[in-house]
Amino acid sequence: MSKFPLAGITVADFTWIGAGSYTTKILADFGADVIKIESTERIDTLRDAKPFQGGIRGLNRSGYFADRNSSKRSVTLNLKSEEGRKLAREIIAKSDVVANNFTPGTMEKFGLGYEAVREFKKDLVYISMSMHGQTGPESKYLGYGLTMGAVTGLHHLCGRPELDPAGTGTNFPDHVPNPAHSAFAILAALRHRRRTGVGQFIDVAQIEPTIALLGPAVLNYTANGVVAGRVGNQHITAAPHGVYPTRGEDRWIAISAPTEAAWSALTKVLEHPALGQDARFRTSVGRWEHREALDALLSTITAGHDAEPLAMQLQHSGVAAAPVHDAADVLRDPQLQARGHWVYLEHPEMGRTVYNALPFRMSRTPGYPNRPAPLLGEHTDEVLKSMLGLKPNEIEALRSQGALQ
């Protein structure tokens, strides 16, 4: 662990569900000691989220929770009790970072808001990741990835133009923009602290990193007054660009040929006379203007091919193409396996389980999941002994008082 770039950094992690947990997973996989503060009375709802290992429901059996909480330690505290809050303050006093993604005011109710804890931990980096941030008329609104996608305009852009907004199929803000921006902010604040000795408060409004995904749509309106709409799989300026059926049940291929060179290569691989002879498709402008007819023709051609070999043949010819993979395909993808993306760890209850590695490789200071996701409260005694110096009889007394639950 000493070789990991964040070794020596301790995080008091009050986050739960998606974006917050993924943010602190990044830190944990890079070697930070992330102590997840949980409660048996108010369970992280991700612990009760499918899929469950072996199809057996349990608070320690969620694959979703496991992947978002690799490399962490779990401590259960009753923050409604004074003793539980006292222990939380003691853990914070020994930490470098505090993270939460609650609605503004929640941490303050427990006496654990930034202004309260900085009184005894001046150099603390404290990040709050609420939906709308700490200020503004909607700061107290409750939000999840679904509502963030809606209010930022992301859902308005997702789906087919003739149908209702489809969303992203998952809470996309939880998985990419918010954890990535938040982890970056924490690292920047830690660097500032190293240089100056001064900590700071980081206020992340999760709608704002999500809006960063929508640059072209925002610019199209500010520059041209045009409100962008849904285009499905099509490209706004080029064709062909879409997903087409292939041989087999629910098997598809994605193809994008926006340039003349790519179009020429595509026609040679598919060897269908209409692609080269139809006057509508001779120019890039014509292909885009008649993209619906082109997509219909391509669909009839690709339906007679297998997705994997066709994609490989197109790639070798200079055409961007890929089979549409399902989860089973992704797990056995040779490229991901060659890069060591999938990490298998032995979980105390689920056994050998798979985790996502960090989505980049650092040559000198690598990071990767270094322990499986924790059982609920698995490390309570360990943390109280090693971090706070409590004796076994003191821990049992706290447990009997209801402080450790």
d(CA 302, CA 305): 5
Q: Rounded to the nearest 5 degrees, what angle is found at the Cα of 316, between the Cα atoms of 315 and 320?
A: 20
Q: Rounded to the nearest 5 degrees, what angle is found at the Cα of 46, between the Cα atoms of 146 and 342?
A: 95
Residues of the chain with CATH 3.40.50.10540: 10-205+337-400
pLDDT at 146: 86
Identify the helix (H) or strand (E) that includes residue 59.
none
Per-chain mean pLDDT for the chain = 95
Q: Which residue(s) pair with 363 in the sheet?
A: none
- Which letter does DSSP use for residue 290 in this model? T
pLDDT at 380: 98
In CATH, the architecture of 241-245+252-323 is 2-Layer Sandwich (3.30)
CATH of the domain spanning 10-205+337-400: 3.40.50.10540
Using omega within 30 degrees of 0 as the cis cutoff, is the peptide bond preceding 240 cis?
yes
Instruction: Measure Cα distances from 389 to 94, 180, 203, 395 in Å.
Output: 12, 34, 32, 10
d(CA 99, CA 372): 21
pLDDT at 217: 92
d(CA 7, CA 280): 61
pLDDT at 295: 97
Give percent helix, percent strand, percent coil of the chain, each to the nearest 5: 40, 15, 45
pLDDT at 213: 86
d(CA 161, CA 216): 18
Positions annotated as catalytic residues are 174
Q: For 258-296, how does the pLDDT look when each residue is reduced to its tens digit (9 = 90+)?
A: 999 999 999 999 999 999 899 999 999 999 999 999 999
pLDDT at 1: 57
Instruction: Measure Cα distances from 91 to 181, 197, 202 in Å.
Output: 25, 20, 20
- Contact indicator for 314, 266 with CB cutoff of 8 Å: yes
Give the other-Cβ count within 10 Å of 45's Cβ: 13
d(CA 377, CA 398): 14
d(CA 199, CA 7): 19
Residues of the chain with CATH 3.30.1540: 241-245+252-323
d(CA 171, CA 253): 24
Q: What is the Cα gyration radius of the chain?
A: 25
The token pair at 3 is 């070789």
Q: Say which residue the tokens 């853990």 belong to.
A: 91
Mean pLDDT by 10 residues, the chain (405 residues): 87 95 97 97 95 96 96 97 98 98 96 97 97 93 87 91 85 89 98 97 95 90 94 92 97 97 97 92 96 97 97 98 96 95 96 93 90 98 98 97 95
